[in-house]
Amino acid sequence: MGDRRDRDSEGRARNARPRDGLGRPLPYGAEGVARQPEGVVRTPEETVREAQALLAAGRPFHAHEVFEDAWKSGPEGERTLWRGLAQLAVGLTHAARGNATGGARLLRRGAGAVEEWADGGQQRPYGIDLAGVVAWARELAEAVERGGGPVDARARAPRLRAS
């Protein structure tokens, strides 16, 4: 019968179905949103700027991809920070999809990772308000558990940098 899975240009399995703004697969032929390119090496400032724009647009799944690139390509000493921020974006994604349990769990896990990294002494790396981001994540986790329903990802997006 053969392998009918979608493949990327290197032959790796990769679902080619279009996706919505929260990363959910849509039927083939449906109009989706552009995928976030993966494996892009950005400066930390570019990472923060691009992720913030995606979060503000209600696309936390895509912001997660940007943070994941930084986590995988950045210095070893910053991986906990970027992984934690990626987990926060995925937590918001799950909360927006209506997965209260998974959303709250990832928001708390990400907040813990960011807080752990900040305990090393840096409170505002690349202008990121870590204390504010941690507080946002914990407040949203509680609200998601109380409300249970999907949240508006755009309305509930964090501000990475304090104004």
- The pLDDT assigned to 3 comes to 53
Distance CA(103)–CA(123), nearest Å, equals 25
- The pLDDT assigned to 1 comes to 47
Q: Report yes or no on 160 lying in a domain.
A: no
Is the domain of 139 the same as that of 121? yes
- The pLDDT assigned to 8 comes to 61
- The pLDDT assigned to 12 comes to 65
Distance CA(42)–CA(50), nearest Å, equals 9
Distance CA(133)–CA(151), nearest Å, equals 17
Is the domain of 23 the same as that of 62? no
Distance CA(109)–CA(99), nearest Å, equals 15
Domains in the chain, number: 2
Residue 91, class by beta-carbon neighbours within 10 Å (0-12 exposed, 13-18 middle, 19+ buried)?
buried
**What residue type is 70 in one-letter code?**
A
Residues facing residue 124 across a β-bridge: none
Is the domain of 11 the same as that of 51? no
Range of the domain at 18: 1-35
- List, for the chain, all residue ranges whose pLDDT scores fall below the cut of 50: 1
Angle, vertex CA 153, rays to CA 132 and CA 85, nearest 5:
45
pTM: 0.87
